[in-house]
Chain A
Amino acid sequence: MTSPQVGIVFWIIAFVMLISAFMVVSLKNIFHSALFLILCLFSVAGIYVLLQAEFLAAAQVLIYVGAVAVLMLFAIMLTNNLASKKIRQANRNVLVGFFVSVIFCFITLVLLVKTYVSVWGKLKPQAVLPAQNVLVFGKYLMTKFMLPFEVVSVLLLAALIGAIVLARKERS
């Protein structure tokens, strides 16, 4: 992030992301929650673009917004009356959950600040990523990470069989 304009864009995106993430977990209408989730995921893609990770941004939009969120919307619409129902999202464990998440936030913040302090002034602005990082990414996928890349397909196969087994109608 070199220019101040980029900094302003970052703050706007971060603000939108946080607000929409809060909406996701607090709204009473689950359909609206899902729509805010899409906004939140879009903002994450925006952050990726700012970090020059174009491929990650495209994958984020395609997979999370295009597939996961749309699937959620379908599931909500196909479930009886769920789209218009008012649902309380929190149960009596909300306070405990709040404290746990505050503690986790605190730990992460401490880690981040510590790192920030330790590298303060040592970092030189330089091109960390190669200009065509999608190209490099593709090459890695076909060389070093070839085996994980292939093994993922077994995982997808297993998930596919599982979904069919569970969703298929019982023959009596």
Chain B
Amino acid sequence: MDLTSASINFSIIYPEISLLIAAALILVSVFHKSANRIAPYIALIGIVVSIAMIFKQWGHQESGFFGMITCDSFGVTFKLIFDVTALLSLLIAHRYMISKGINRPEFYALLLISTMGMMVMANTTDLIVIFLGLEIMSVPLYVMAGFAKRSLWSSEAGIKYFIMGAFASSFLLMGIAFIYGASSTTDLRRIVADFHFIMSNSPAYMLTGMALILVGFGFKIGAVPFHSWVPDVYEGAPTPVTAFFSVGPKAAGIAALLRIFIFGFANVMMLSTVFWVLAVLTMSVGNILALKQNNIKRLLAYSSIAHAGYILVALTVGGNDAISAAIFYLVAYIMFNLGAFAVVTLMETRSGCKSDFSELVGLAKVHPYLAAVLTLFMFALAGFPPTAGFFGKFYIFSAAIKSGYIWLAVIGMLNSFLSVYYYLRVVKTSYFDSSDKSFIPVKYSLSIIIVLVITVIGTLGIGLFPQQFLNWSQSALFAFL
């Protein structure tokens, strides 16, 4: 097959195009009086059409646009992951935005464009296009973090995220420049084809470039020691945006890391040591700092750092078992993390409520079902069987043990035990604590109920049929590299 085919085959970018068309329609509809009401529906239709297009691409392996876009199983799987994330975040966001008085059509357009950027990022083997996709993903995210302009916290989150993000992008770009300098191409497939020649010719340039690229993506996925922005941004941004942050950019960053470092530069031994250190630091620091948090959003921020660490364990190990385990874990994490954020969002739509622990007191008495759902998500985050979280960790750590990374698996499991403490604190507060303030009941909305149903089915379904799901994630392993 001609991998740098000049064919301008639009069918391989239909999912991206449908998101873009929906975003354009929303921007046009801004001039209509009831734009606020119709924008979410346009976005919803755009995402659903995009998902339908992805199913049509299933199993196709194509490359087009002079090799700038590749449509392989790996990329298509990640496209689906991004679309589902965007869909759930949209459903979580709708009611919240109305209740906070910031329901603007632009929000939905930015959400769609950001999702499109993630798709571009995961569906290319060209470093330039990866960088472009990353920027298209990030620029709307900066604005979305600061979308609640009247809230100082939100503005702070937007500025912080913008500065750190721009900083990270410059590292990434510098790394790409170094690699281009060493190999005189930006196409990963060409670099991989001549890898030994390039490495023996200019190893220093390649290694410096790889290090800088790793720093850039480390910022994006919130790996320690590049995590300092995560808690503040997660706490300050509007909660549905935080929900989107905690999974979307992380999944996109992991996709790019997998493509560059696991499929691309797989033969560099030094890298696995670097990933080992990153994984251990990310897991441990995330979990230890989460122990003392009294705000649920901050707690989930540190927990998301820790979960990035578990996925980095899989990247350290490498090999088919570990990569399919990483994809498995990523999807499972999306399910229960978005579910947890949906509950937090629901709590915050009550007027004047923050996301402190004290707001949870009495939840179980007033809303037994909601408390049960929250408990399920916390158990899944902590990794109890039979939830998806257990099998995700199980597959990652068993892949690590099989490849001889015993210590890494042991540290990961110890971290997992540590995390049980703070996840169960959430459960304990909502069931057993009492205070003199009475619990203000929450109002359910259809969209939140849909999200909760989908995420509960996902969390339990993946947990009950892990083998079928693992087979699915193994089918995503084919990549053009």
Determine if A144 and B113 form an interchain contact, defined as CB atoms under 8 angstroms apart.
no
Q: Which residues of B contact A161 (CB under 8 A)?
A: 27, 106, 109-110, 113, 140, 143
Closest B residue to A163 using CB positions: B143
Interface residues on A, range: 20 to 34
Determine if B113 and A147 form an interchain contact, defined as CB atoms under 8 angstroms apart.
no
Contact pick for A148, options B27, B110, B132, B158, CB 8 Å: B132
Determine if A151 and B120 form an interchain contact, defined as CB atoms under 8 angstroms apart.
yes
Q: Which residues of A contact B143 (CB under 8 A)?
A: 161-162, 165-166
Determine if A107 and B208 form an interchain contact, defined as CB atoms under 8 angstroms apart.
yes
Contact pick for A162, options B110, B117, B202, B205, CB 8 Å: B110
Determine if B66 and A147 form an interchain contact, defined as CB atoms under 8 angstroms apart.
yes
Contact pick for B136, options A114, A155, A166, A170, CB 8 Å: A155
For the complex formed, measure the closest distance between the CB of A47 and the CB atoms of chain B, giving whole angstroms: 16
- B424 interface contact, C-beta 8 A: no
Q: Which residues of A contact B204 (CB under 8 A)?
A: 110-111, 114
Determine if B149 and A151 form an interchain contact, defined as CB atoms under 8 angstroms apart.
no
For the complex formed, measure the closest distance between the CB of B110 and the CB atoms of chain A, giving whole angstroms: 6
Q: Which residues of A contact B142 (CB under 8 A)?
A: 162
Contact pick for B132, options A146, A152, A157, A164, CB 8 Å: A152
Determine if B135 and A148 form an interchain contact, defined as CB atoms under 8 angstroms apart.
no
Determine if A111 and B129 form an interchain contact, defined as CB atoms under 8 angstroms apart.
no
- A8 interface contact, C-beta 8 A: no
Contact pick for B65, options A110, A147, A162, CB 8 Å: A147
Determine if A154 and B109 form an interchain contact, defined as CB atoms under 8 angstroms apart.
no
Q: Which residues of B contact A126 (CB under 8 A)?
A: none
Determine if B136 and A154 form an interchain contact, defined as CB atoms under 8 angstroms apart.
yes
Determine if A158 and B110 form an interchain contact, defined as CB atoms under 8 angstroms apart.
yes
Q: Which residues of A contact B114 (CB under 8 A)?
A: 158
For the complex formed, measure the closest distance between the CB of B4 and the CB atoms of chain A, giving whole angstroms: 9
Q: Which residues of B contact A166 (CB under 8 A)?
A: 143, 146, 149, 158
- A5 interface contact, C-beta 8 A: no
Determine if B202 and A115 form an interchain contact, defined as CB atoms under 8 angstroms apart.
yes
- B90 interface contact, C-beta 8 A: no
For the complex formed, measure the closest distance between the CB of A169 and the CB atoms of chain B, giving whole angstroms: 10
Interface of A is mostly: helix
Instruction: Give Cα A114–Cα B206 distance, bound, in whole angstroms.
Output: 13
- B147 interface contact, C-beta 8 A: yes
Q: Which residues of B contact A162 (CB under 8 A)?
A: 110, 139-140, 142-143
Q: How many A-B residue pairs have CB under 8 A?
A: 78
For the complex formed, measure the closest distance between the CB of A166 and the CB atoms of chain B, giving whole angstroms: 6
Q: Which residues of A contact B8 (CB under 8 A)?
A: 146
Instruction: Give Cα A16–Cα B101 distance, bound, in whole angstroms.
Output: 53
Interface residues on B, range: 35 or more
Most buried by B among A107, A145, A148, A158: A158
Instruction: Give Cα A14–Cα B115 distance, bound, in whole angstroms.
Output: 43
- A159 interface contact, C-beta 8 A: yes
For the complex formed, measure the closest distance between the CB of A100 and the CB atoms of chain B, giving whole angstroms: 12
Instruction: Give Cα A107–Cα B208 distance, bound, in whole angstroms.
Output: 9
Contact pick for A146, options B27, B65, B109, CB 8 Å: B65
Q: Which residues of A contact B117 (CB under 8 A)?
A: 154-155, 158
For the complex formed, measure the closest distance between the CB of A8 and the CB atoms of chain B, giving whole angstroms: 27
Determine if A148 and B129 form an interchain contact, defined as CB atoms under 8 angstroms apart.
yes
Determine if B110 and A143 form an interchain contact, defined as CB atoms under 8 angstroms apart.
no
Instruction: Give Cα A117–Cα B202 distance, bound, in whole angstroms.
Output: 12
Q: Which residues of B contact A115 (CB under 8 A)?
A: 202, 205
For the complex formed, measure the closest distance between the CB of A164 and the CB atoms of chain B, giving whole angstroms: 8
Q: Which residues of B contact A157 (CB under 8 A)?
A: 113
Closest B residue to A167 using CB positions: B149
Instruction: Give Cα A151–Cα B106 distance, bound, in whole angstroms.
Output: 20
Instruction: Give Cα A143–Cα B7 distance, bound, in whole angstroms.
Output: 11
Determine if B149 and A147 form an interchain contact, defined as CB atoms under 8 angstroms apart.
no
Instruction: Give Cα A144–Cα B6 distance, bound, in whole angstroms.
Output: 8
Closest B residue to A157 using CB positions: B113
Contact pick for B128, options A146, A148, A165, CB 8 Å: A148
Contact bitstring B106-140, A, C-beta under 8 A = 1, else 0:
10011001101100100000101100110110011
Q: Which residues of B contact A143 (CB under 8 A)?
A: 6, 66
Given contacts A155-B132, A161-B110, contact A148 B68 (CB under 8 A): yes
Instruction: Give Cα A162–Cα B140 distance, bound, in whole angstroms.
Output: 7
Q: List 20 A-B contacts (CB under 8 A).
A: A114-B204, A143-B66, A145-B68, A145-B128, A146-B8, A148-B129, A151-B136, A152-B132, A154-B20, A154-B116, A157-B113, A158-B113, A161-B109, A162-B110, A162-B139, A162-B140, A162-B143, A165-B143, A165-B147, A170-B150
List residues of chain B with CB under 8 Å of any chain A CB.
6, 8, 20, 27, 65-66, 68-69, 104, 106, 109-110, 113-114, 116-117, 120, 126, 128-129, 132-133, 135-136, 139-140, 142-143, 146-147, 149-150, 158, 202, 204-205, 208
Ranked nearest first, the 9 interchain pairs of A and B with the lowest CB-CB distance are A162-B143, A147-B65, A147-B68, A144-B66, A158-B139, A158-B113, A165-B106, A155-B136, A158-B140
